Chains A and B, each alone.
Chain A
Amino acid sequence: MLQHLFKLIWNKKGTHSLLIIEILASFLVLFGVLSLIVFNVRNYLQPIGFNYEQVWNVDLAKNQDTVEVARKLTSVMQRIRSYKEVETATRMSSNTPFSANQVSGAMTYNKVTVGADFYYTDPDFNKTLDLPLLKGRWYREGDRVAKFIPIVINKKLEDKLFLNETSLNKVIKIDDKSSYKVVGVIDKFKAKGEFMSDNPGVFEMLAKDDVWNSNVLIKTKRGTDANFEAKLVKDIAMMLPGWGIEVSYLKESRLNRHNLTLVPVLIFLIISAFLLTNVALGLFGILNLNISRRKNEIGLRRAMGATEGKVAIQFLGEIWVIATFSLIIGLLFAVQFPLMNVFDLDSEIYITSIFVSIAVIYIIVTLCAWLPSKQASRIHPAIALHEE
């Protein structure tokens, strides 16, 4: 039966070639869009790892000021912590949560090198963002005197860098003079929001005299409003004349980041939905015409004793065979993506989207062929043969 169907299609490959190209192109479009969606959905399903609800980000720009910057920053931090509306506050490098900035570097241990995001923070960082530790502890003021630079890493980096070993208290050499020591491990820190993939990350303690990293994260008490914010900005501006001060809420920045991811996905979704509807309508029309043109063939088959079901299955089978042809060609392109690791994405993403697109194509094709083949099967042999 199947062989027979293949032969039927193969004999008419000229007329079917356009149909095959059409299904092939739809498959490729679907594959591209689904890869994008699967990538984002997979990321979204992993927790973000920290709490941003009540947290504000104060961005301080020192502009032309060069005098005693470190001392000024320290006293501003003291002032901020002294407000009764402030629960905790921490200094951080410019790659604050949901910002567009990124600081990346590489880390080598036992000849394994892993690229990671670097975050420079204070001892209060994990309290401000409710960042739970899997093991070990967060670095403290007391660590400043230690021989090694204390760092906290995330689970992803631990898995990649230390493979099966435990990472706590391991020393990682940077150069001849300095090295890191792992004091704690956190689970996840997806700083760019839910749609970011869980990248390796390192938290390093800010030096006492650091003047370059001047973002401040403030966790406020519930019910704090813009009046306190205005007062805060006024007070800081008084202490730091000539500096730029910008306050943003992490909650709002997060929405902005989300839109940056969601808007393109949405546009692609709308466009591909329109393309697929277009293709489906076209397929339906073509199948309808083709089948009505083969009335006498159907009549003959029915007269020879074929049941309604058998006739319907034949037409469905034909379109399935055509779809399979196109999908096989499409797969030749699509499998390159997981095999060659294009865009450095997990091959699981590509494989999932290949399977989903195959399923969607078969569903569309079946839906389009269902009604025409049902109609065909109901043709009465006497009428069909009479027309002939």
Chain B
Amino acid sequence: MLLNYIKIAWKVLLRHPFYTFITLFGISLTLTVLMVLTSFLDHLFGTHYPEVNRDRSLYVATIIQTDSARTSMSSGPATFDFLTKHVKSLKSADKVAIMSNFNFSNTYVNGKRIKLNTKYTDAEFWEVMGFRFLEGKPYNDNNIKNSDHVAVITDALRDQYFDTGGKSVVGQNIEIENINYRVIGVVKGSPPTRIYSYSDIYFPYTAPKSNYQNKGLRGSFIAIATAKDASDMPVIQSEFDSNISRIPYSEIHTDKNLTVLQVKADKYFDHFVNTFARSSTQRFMFYTVVSFVVLMFMGLPAINLVNVNVSRILERASEIGVRKAFGAPSAALLWQFIIENIFITFIGGAFALALSYLIIYFINSSGWIAYADLTINVPVFVISLAVCLFFGLLSGVLPAFRMSRLKIVDALKV
């Protein structure tokens, strides 16, 4: 039966190549855009190299100081001191890493200038992140205690700075702003879209110019706390909240006006949304705008498909009339049309899969995002399939419903 429906659908597709093209064009391009978008979002928010523990990590990245009326506000990363006191001390957390936001610097070699992103981290950073070491090893607590001038660099920087001809660069020096750092490790780099792990060169936080000695609340450091298991995360969050609520009055009220301190340990996505939508109304606005755009984007091709289907299906009125005259119930006809539409949608989906594969391959190899690793992975593919089905039903049900209720006489007359 099913096979029969599909055969009919195939014949119908071939009968009018132009309409088939319109339908497939709409379906496959919409799905392509959706698939590329999901894979990009997965790249941004999913758990990937080197942030392999992101699904069980909590980020303390922004401190907000406001006055009681919330009219003026000052916000940004925290000081190393603050994070050591209130995040490092979390008992329920498995590991806590502290790192600086990235800074910029330049280094010069043979009259050429290399732009650098720099990052200061503690030793636990290397345990929280899953960097792959191509050479050498990370710095440890000893290096930090001795304020060693050591650094871990990425493979890209190694290739730009050193002219080794394949020999190991561990132990060699790299000069940045008149200070020599000894390279002790080379890692495979992180894409710049993962801002907390991205850098070209990593220093221990006791290296010069890190400003870890600053006191007070606001500085340039952020902390990531991991849980042993994802289910422990609420425990850590509540411990952190109670830690914060116990901060003595004198420590918060350093600024005359800004007397309210807001700081949260958030999961990565929440933390991302919170950076530009802080209050619940703003978050509501954000989600409304996003869903409106998505609705518009998926709605237009869907309406278009419904339109095309509605007018096309009249063509097949006589076929329906004959089937009805021979006793096919409405439900059977309805199913036939739904299956037919899902079939077309899946053909479009296959095209879309091929197209997105191409686009993603192009993005990955173009160097548009360094170290980009966009993939069509299982969740992305399942989401796309669900979207396929949704589209098939949306554009199939309405016309099929109309058609299946057509009276035999009318159907045969047309």
Q: Are these two chains actual partners, yes or no?
A: yes
Chain A positions 10 through 53: 1 when the CB is less than 8 Å from some CB of chain B, otherwise 0: 00000100110110011011000000000000000000000000
Contacts of B300 in A (CB 8 A): 22, 25-26, 29, 275, 278-279
How far does the alpha carbon of A373 sit from the alpha carbon of B155 in the complex, in Å?
63
Contacts of A243 in B (CB 8 A): 209
Contacts of B297 in A (CB 8 A): 271, 275
Given contacts A22-B304, A29-B300, A278-B26, contact A237 B177 (CB under 8 A): yes
Residues of B189-241 whose CB lies within 8 A of A: 208-209, 211, 213-214
The segment out of B70-78, B108-116, B271-279 that lies at the interface is: B108-116
Residues of A222-248 whose CB lies within 8 A of B: 225-227, 229-230, 233-234, 237-238, 241-248
B296 contacts the other chain (CB 8 A) = yes
Contact status B111-A22, CB under 8 Å: no
- A238's closest neighbor in chain B, by CB? B178
Contact status A226-B22, CB under 8 Å: no
- B116's closest neighbor in chain A, by CB? A246
Contact status B307-A25, CB under 8 Å: no
Given contacts A237-B177, A281-B25, contact A242 B311 (CB under 8 A): no
Contact status A279-B304, CB under 8 Å: yes
A64 contacts the other chain (CB 8 A) = yes
Chain A positions 285 through 296: 1 when the CB is less than 8 Å from some CB of chain B, otherwise 0: 110011001000
Contact status B29-A278, CB under 8 Å: yes
Contact status A278-B213, CB under 8 Å: no
Contacts of A18 in B (CB 8 A): 303, 306-307, 310
Contacts of B301 in A (CB 8 A): 275, 278
Contact status A230-B306, CB under 8 Å: no
Interface size bracket, B side: 35 or more
The segment out of B82-90, B98-106, B121-129, B379-387 that lies at the interface is: B98-106
How far does the alpha carbon of A230 sit from the alpha carbon of B176 in the complex, in Å?
10
B283 contacts the other chain (CB 8 A) = no
A274 contacts the other chain (CB 8 A) = yes
Q: Is the interface of A mostly helix, strand, loop or mixed?
A: helix
Contact status B22-A29, CB under 8 Å: no
- A276's closest neighbor in chain B, by CB? B300
B315 contacts the other chain (CB 8 A) = yes
Contact status A244-B177, CB under 8 Å: yes
B389 contacts the other chain (CB 8 A) = no
Given contacts A22-B304, A282-B26, contact A246 B104 (CB under 8 A): yes
A63 contacts the other chain (CB 8 A) = yes
How far does the alpha carbon of A26 sit from the alpha carbon of B301 in the complex, in Å?
10
Contact status A227-B26, CB under 8 Å: no
Residues of A253-267 whose CB lies within 8 A of B: none
Q: Nearest chain A CB to B219's CB is how many angstroms away?
A: 12
Chain A positions 361 through 380: 1 when the CB is less than 8 Å from some CB of chain B, otherwise 0: 00000000000000000000
Contact status A278-B296, CB under 8 Å: no
A61 contacts the other chain (CB 8 A) = yes
Q: Nearest chain A CB to B102's CB is how many angstroms away?
A: 12
Residues of A48-83 whose CB lies within 8 A of B: 59, 61, 63-64
Which 9 residue pairs across A and B have the least CB separation, nearest first? A230-B108, A237-B178, A282-B304, A226-B113, A289-B311, A281-B22, A22-B303, A227-B111, A237-B177
Q: Which residues of A contact B (CB under 8 A)?
A: 15, 18-19, 21-22, 25-26, 28-29, 59, 61, 63-64, 225-227, 229-230, 233-234, 237-238, 241-248, 271, 274-275, 277-279, 281-282, 284-286, 289-290, 293
